[in-house]
């Protein structure tokens, strides 16, 4: 039995709460807002998982990859650090700062490492890879083959903080209000068909990607086998992991834009494609459904996905999970409930319900000032 698990036999109807805030101008703001937003949906969880992801929080190490690693045993830490020293140059490492929280128990050993791939080692490898491919390969290796060690965050100038507990407990434990970032996402978990444990809490991450999810991925098995063909291996015992890897595969490796990637994972029904009047568009949709059939994500879901430049909200094809969005100046808010937005933004400029299968995309605008938030979506409606 996994030593970091919560009550493995506890099964309840699906709930989960997700929320995200992005300042498209790139201005940093504290974690107070995201903390308040997710805690407003505390009843959507059951204490078996919560977490946060933030971008822009490590400006002094912006050029270094940051591994957040949890260990179940001290021996796993020693093995992992020896492995990292073999393939990376480590600029700095330390325990992840935490605050003692009486309600949390069975807390793993938590460390963060700021590092870059060792070029001398890479040059001796038979196959030359990009830094991104190097990071992915080592994350997969550690999570698969080093017992009791799990890399749960591996991006640059960003970090994921998660564990078994309610969001207020996890936020207090990781001192979330002490950080400042320009994108924040947070999750309150209500696990149904997977265990509640520290590694299985949301967000899930790989490189700069982070994903939070409300729902259930019934296509997990076929998605998982499809991803293994490209070197991605699901080891964290939660269906959401496949969404993270699918975004990395489609956007980073295959060069597909975020809107189209969302259209692959939440693809239109064949009947809808047959009704498309433009022949070129219809042919494209047919081709994508055939080529990426195993990347289709089935089941009810509402997700928020982030990387260094974007935050995206996406529902399943018939919107079986709630998702609401709002904007205020250069800020975009996405959440399971409007109340989670209004508790931190009482008078938004616009509020709308993202349509089923149509991603709401906010892109970073690298400029000063408070420009209006830049959105890409086929249709928005002021409610």
- Written as six digits, the tokens of 147 are 């017992």
Contact 304, 16 (CB under 8 A): no
The beta strand positions in the chain, using DSSP E, are: 17-23, 29-30, 50-55, 65-71, 88-95, 109-117, 149-153, 158-163, 180-181, 183-188, 204-206, 209-215, 301-306, 310-315, 324-328, 331-335, 350-352, 360-363, 375-376
> Would you call 164 exposed, middle or buried from its count of C-beta atoms within 10 A (0-12, 13-18, 19+)?
buried
Catalytic: 362? Answer: no
Catalytic residue among 5, 16, 39, 362: 16
What is the token pair recorded at 164? 């078994």
Instruction: Give the bridge partners for 156, in sequence order.
Output: 65
Distances (CA, A) of 107 to 82, 98, 102, 112, 199: 23, 11, 11, 15, 11
**CA pair distance 209, 248, nearest whole angstrom:** 7
Token pair 């822009």 in the structure block, residue: 56
Cis preceding-peptide flag for 203 (omega within 30 of 0): yes
- Which residues are the active-site residues? 16
């Amino acid at each position: 039995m996994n030593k970091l698990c919560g009550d493995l036999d506890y099964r309840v109807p699906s709930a989960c709460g997700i929320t995200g805030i992005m300042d498209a101008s790139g201005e940093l703001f504290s974690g107070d807002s995201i903390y308040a937003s997710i805690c407003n949906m505390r009843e959507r969880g059951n204490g078996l998982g919560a977490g946060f992801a933030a971008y822009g929080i490590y400006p002094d190490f912006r050029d270094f990859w940051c591994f957040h690693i949890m260990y179940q045993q001290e021996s796993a830490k020693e093995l992992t650090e020896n492995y990292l020293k073999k393939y990376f140059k480590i600029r700095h490492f330390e325990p992840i700062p935490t605050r003692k929280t009486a309600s949390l128990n069975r807390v793993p050993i938590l460390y963060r490492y700021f590092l870059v791939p060792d070029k001398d080692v890479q040059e001796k490898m038979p196959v030359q890879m990009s830094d991104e491919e190097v990071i992915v390969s080592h994350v997969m290796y550690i999570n698969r083959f080093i017992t009791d060690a799990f890399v749960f965050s591996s991006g640059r100038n960003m970090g994921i903080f998660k564990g078994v507990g309610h969001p207020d407990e996890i936020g207090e434990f990781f001192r979330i209000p002490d950080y400042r970032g320009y994108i924040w996402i947070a999750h309150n978990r209500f696990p149904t068909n997977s265990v509640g444990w520290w590694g299985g809490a949301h967000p899930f991450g790989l490189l700069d990607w982070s994903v939070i999810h409300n729902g259930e991925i019934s296509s997990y098995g076929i998605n998982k086998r499809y991803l293994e063909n490209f070197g991605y291996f699901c080891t964290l015992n939660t269906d959401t992991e496949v969404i993270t890897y699918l975004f990395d595969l489609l956007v980073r490796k295959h060069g597909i834009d975020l809107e189209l990637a969302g259209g692959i994972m939440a693809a239109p029904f064949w009947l809808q494609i047959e009704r498309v009047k433009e022949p070129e568009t219809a042919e494209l949709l047919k081709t994508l459904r055939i080529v990426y059939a195993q990347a289709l994500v089935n089941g009810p879901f509402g997700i928020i996905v982030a990387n260094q430049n974007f935050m995206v909200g996406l529902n399943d094809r018939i919107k079986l999970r709630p998702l609401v969005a709002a904007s205020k100046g250069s800020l975009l808010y996405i959440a399971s409930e409007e109340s989670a937005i209004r508790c931190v933004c009482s008078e938004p400029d616009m509020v709308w319900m993202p349509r089923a299968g149509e991603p709401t995309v906010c892109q970073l605008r690298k400029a000063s000032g408070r420009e209006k938030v830049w959105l890409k979506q086929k249709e928005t409606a002021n409610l």
